[in-house]
Amino acid sequence: MSFFVCLINLSESLRGARVVVTGASTGIGEQMAYHYARFGAQIVITARREKVLQQVAEKCLSLGAQKALYIAADMGSDSDPDKVVDFALEKLGGLDYLVLNHIGPSPFSMWDGDVEHTKWLMKVNFFSYIQMAQKAMSALKQSKGSLVVVSSLLGKMAGPFVAPYASTKFALNGFFGALQHELAMKKSNVSISICTLGLIDTDSAMEKVRGVTNLPAYPAADAAMNIIITGATRQLELFYPWVTYFLTISKDWFPSITNYIIQNSYNYIP
């Protein structure tokens, strides 16, 4: 019963909500766009591929979105993060949710010493998040809105084959974790939710880990719904699936065992 009451409250609070979702052409971002659409939100979606965004926006309208607008943007550029926020503020007349979710492609392999790639990935996966958050902050203050940051278990504990990616996720957790404290100390009405995800069955993730590990992957649509609920209920953190929470604890309490498990979860022959 209480679950249904919670769902009704959620759909009331999200109906007409003004939302930006980044990285929404595929994967978890696309699924979040569809969920927000079903709740009747007003959505701006962004990623690089305009044609794909157009198709996602059309589907959002057919699912019930009050508005579904798209803007192509490359988060590796200096100006596009601001451009997206400006576009959303102009078209929606304000902002209730900024959902930062995009990631640039990065190899799933042993570190090959490519420093330039890591710098570029920091720009896409980290600096653009800060830039958008800064640009949107006053609009979020006005609406008592929420900032939702999609992070990873790999931003809490490192694993092999993802050194550049893990660095960007650790940076996100550090920066937005600090900001959570500062907003609380200032008694700000803006909430920040940091979402720690385990392996999710998106095409891009599955392509990377196929044949390399048998770790279970969890459904993108379910991950997307959990992220939306976390933002809408203004919780500080999400751990999805729940086992990610215990993995972060076990890394601190039993580091040797956890390291052994991590290193033996992958098929790798030196």
Which residues in this chain contact ligand NDP in the complex, by CB under 6 A? 23-29, 47-49, 52, 73-76, 101-104, 124, 150, 152, 197, 199-200, 202, 204-205
SS3 40: coil
- Nearer to ligand NDP by C-beta: 41 or 103? 103
CB of 52 to ligand NDP, least distance (A): 6
CB of 202 to ligand NDP, least distance (A): 3
End-to-end CA distance of the chain: 54
SS3 209: helix
CB of 27 to ligand NDP, least distance (A): 2
- Nearer to ligand NDP by C-beta: 51 or 256? 51
Q: How far apart are CA 13 and CA 4, in angstroms?
A: 14
Annotated active-site residue in 70, 97, 165, 240: 165
SS3 234: coil
Give, for 45, the enclosing helix (H) or strand (E). Answer: strand 42-47
Identify whether 107 is preceded by a cis peptide bond (ω within 30 of 0): no
CB of 57 to ligand NDP, least distance (A): 13
3-class secondary structure for 70-91? Answer: EEECCCCCCCHHHHHHHHHHHH
* 14 backbone dihedrals φ, ψ, rounded to 5°: -95, -15
Structure tokens, 40: 């009747």
CB of 2 to ligand NDP, least distance (A): 29
Closest chain position to ligand NDP (CB) = 27
- Nearer to ligand NDP by C-beta: 13 or 204? 204
- Nearer to ligand NDP by C-beta: 95 or 220? 220
What residues does 70 pair with on adjacent strands?
A: 45
* 260 noted as active-site residue: no
List, as one string, the DSSP characters of 125-182: IIIHHHHHHHHHHHHHHHHT-EEEEEEEGGGTS--TT-HHHHHHHHHHHHHHHHHHHH
- Nearer to ligand NDP by C-beta: 13 or 54? 54
- Which residues are annotated as catalytic? 165
